[in-house]
Amino acid sequence: MTDLPTTLPSSKRPPMLIRIILEDLQQARAYANEMLSHVDESVWFRQPADSVNHIAWQVGHMTIAQYGLCLKRVRGVREEDSQLFDVLEFGELFGKGSIPSCSEHDYPTPVEIRNAFNAVHAQVESEIAAIDPSVLEDSAGPEHPMFNTKGGSLRFSAKHEMLHVGQIGLLRRFFGCTFIR
């Protein structure tokens, strides 16, 4: 987790709401990474029942969701986004409404999924730290039941990630893994 610099004069520090958003995203990601550090890659594509999401789907979904909530809705799609990960592939495999396959051959490897997960998050942290606070009250684009503004979209991202970390925790229990906490 990257802490925000506290030694900067207050005039150089991001405004409070941006600091809170960054802290929430960093805490959610730290918890996700801790949970994933206790999951062997051999079970990433295991499903406790047909059509139930697996860990690979959860991590891929958190990746495409964070991209959508924190980058696409806030500043739009950019050509350089393809440097982070294959946006179209992840959207098809892990986007809302996608159906999980138990075949690992239908997906990128766990290492590739984790690389995309980390790349998107690093980009999100970088862009949010530099964001103009005045855009936080702007519309976040297509209607969403949980938020209307760009700031709301950013805030929802951490909550969304925690929901899926909880699902990873439940999958771990189905697989007989030991408790982390």
At 130-151, the pLDDT tens digits run: 999 999 999 999 899 999 999 9
Task: CATH number of the domain at 99, please.
Answer: 1.20.120.450
pLDDT of the residue at 179: 79
Task: Yes or no: say if 160 and 69 are a contact pair by the CB < 8 Å rule.
Answer: yes
The verdict on residue 123 lying in a domain is: yes
In a domain, 11, yes or no: no
The more confident residue out of 49 and 163 is 163
Domain count within the chain: 1
Q: How far apart are CA 28 and CA 76, in angstroms?
A: 23
How far is 160 from 158, CA to CA, in rounded Å? 5
CA distance 90 to 157: 17
Whether the predicted pLDDT of 3 surpasses 60: no
User: What residues make up the domain containing 118?
Assistant: 16-174
pLDDT tier, 76 (very low <50, low <70, confident <90, very high otherwise): very high
pLDDT tens track for 77-115: 999 999 999 999 999 999 999 999 989 999 999 999 999
Q: Does residue 101 form part of some domain? A: yes
In a domain, 63, yes or no: yes
